[in-house]
Amino acid sequence: MSAKLKNRAETEEDQQAAPSYRDQLTKDDLLEMYRRMWLARLFDETLYDLKKKGRLRRGNVYGSRGQEAILVGTTYPLRAHDFVSPIHRDMPAFHFKGMPLEQVMAQVWGKATAPTRGKDSWSHMGDISLGLIHSTSMLGSTVPVACGAAWALKLDGKGDSVVLTYNGEGATATGAFHEGANFAGVHKLPLILVIENNQYAYSTPLELNVPTGRVADRAIGYGMPGIVVDGNDVLAVYDETYHAFERARRGDGPTLIECVTYRVQGHADHDETRARQYRPVEEIEEWEAKDPLPRFRNYLLGTGNFSEAELPEPPPEVVRQIHDAVEIAINSPDPEPATAMEDIYDESAGVSR
């Protein structure tokens, strides 16, 4: 079996063979995708702004600016009975998989109403009843966990459910990632490995984590297709993810989708990347010009099916949604000190409380 290293749309043969799922999206779908991209953008901007104003009381902001097309394109095909394991840069994905926005914000502020009831950091949360697998700080380690979920689904005959994982290109260089991806390939698990290749892992450039410069090259060793897609094109990402879902549901196993994008901000808010000079400012500017939001908006306008007024920048209802979620979270109760020892593993007693 050879890995597929090209974007599906790059070969004429594939264009004929593969259905285009994006063509089946309705106008309402496209408006909803546009709205979601703005939600991700404003989520990011709002938290950066509040951090600067000293209104966040803990944690760093790991922004997804410039990566919104990946978040929206990969989550749009999800159904209620699928599973997702987001990582540090994917906070909006928790909401797109069904977690109310005020609950995501409550996690940011460490409130009693948050999934972890005030413990651990922002993205280290989940809610298995919503199909959200809890993440941890150890990069790559969510892959073996996601494999466990996918294997259980397969063994239980729930072949219609799919597990979607996110990893940065840097995380694909960890042992846990390789072990998990290999296991998924061997057992043909219903798993999708979405790789957010934003060219940097903190200050480490792509070539120092991925010797071929292309993460999808790894897929051949795992016995699964390795797809490369323009990660700033929401409909291309959607199409490839949908294909991967269909493949998994058919029982044909996992797919690795490398979404090529760029981290236009620093690693987190504490990393003033332009001043730090570990990458050229021209490189950042080049990618800022490829911003996925105006790109999608221009595409929609170009179809002739949308008016300028239908595509406000930003949509006012999304601004309100973010504002209200922040207010609700800030005004939610803090955890009671007495709960500090609940929901933890007590090593001395050898039990989970």
Ligand X SMILES: Cc1ncc(C[n+]2csc(CCOP(=O)(O)OP(=O)(O)O)c2C)c(N)n1
Number of Cβ within a 10 Å radius of residue 313? 11
Reference 248, options 164, 142, 143, 140; nearest CA is: 164
Rank residues 25 and 70 by Cβ distance to Mg ion and give the closer one: 70
Among 165, 167, 198, 261, binds Mg ion (CB under 5 A): 198
**Smallest separation (angstroms) from ligand X to the CB of 89:** 4
Active-site annotation, residues? 263, 267, 278
Residue 145, interface with Mg ion (CB under 5 A)?
A: no
Q: How many CB atoms lie within 10 A of CB 346?
A: 10
CB 346 to Mg ion: min, Å: 36
When CB distances are held under 5 to 8 angstroms depending on the partner's kind, the choice from ligand X, Mg ion, none that residue 240 binds is none
Q: What b-and-e string marks burial along 77-89, b requiring 16 or more CB atoms within 10 Å of the CB?
A: bbeeebbbbbbbb
Which one among 263, 292, 322, 325 touches ligand X, defined by CB under 6 A? 263
168 binds Mg ion (CB under 5 A): yes
Instruction: Please report how close the Cβ of residue 54 comes to ligand X at its closest, in angstroms.
Output: 24
Asked if 198 interacts with ligand X (CB under 6 A), we say: yes
- Interface characters, 130-159, with ligand X (x: CB under 6 A): -------xxx--------------------
Per DSSP, the residues of 287-323 read: HHTT-HHHHHHHHHHHTTS--GGGS-SS-HHHHHHHH
Q: How many CA atoms lie within 13 A of 38 on its CB side?
A: 20
Query: Is residue 202 near ligand X by the rule CB under 6 A?
Result: yes
Angstrom CA distances, 81 to 128, 156, 163, 232, stand at 10, 14, 9, 27
> Token pair of 319, please?
């601004």
The residue count for binding Mg ion (CB under 5 A) is: 5
The binder of ligand X chosen from 59, 73, 170, 266 (CB under 6 A): 170
Distance (Å, whole) CA 130 – CA 149: 14
By the criterion CB under 6 A, which residues form the site for ligand X?
Answer: 89, 137-139, 168-171, 174, 196, 198, 200-202, 263, 267
By the criterion CB under 5 A, which residues form the site for Mg ion?
Answer: 168-170, 198, 201
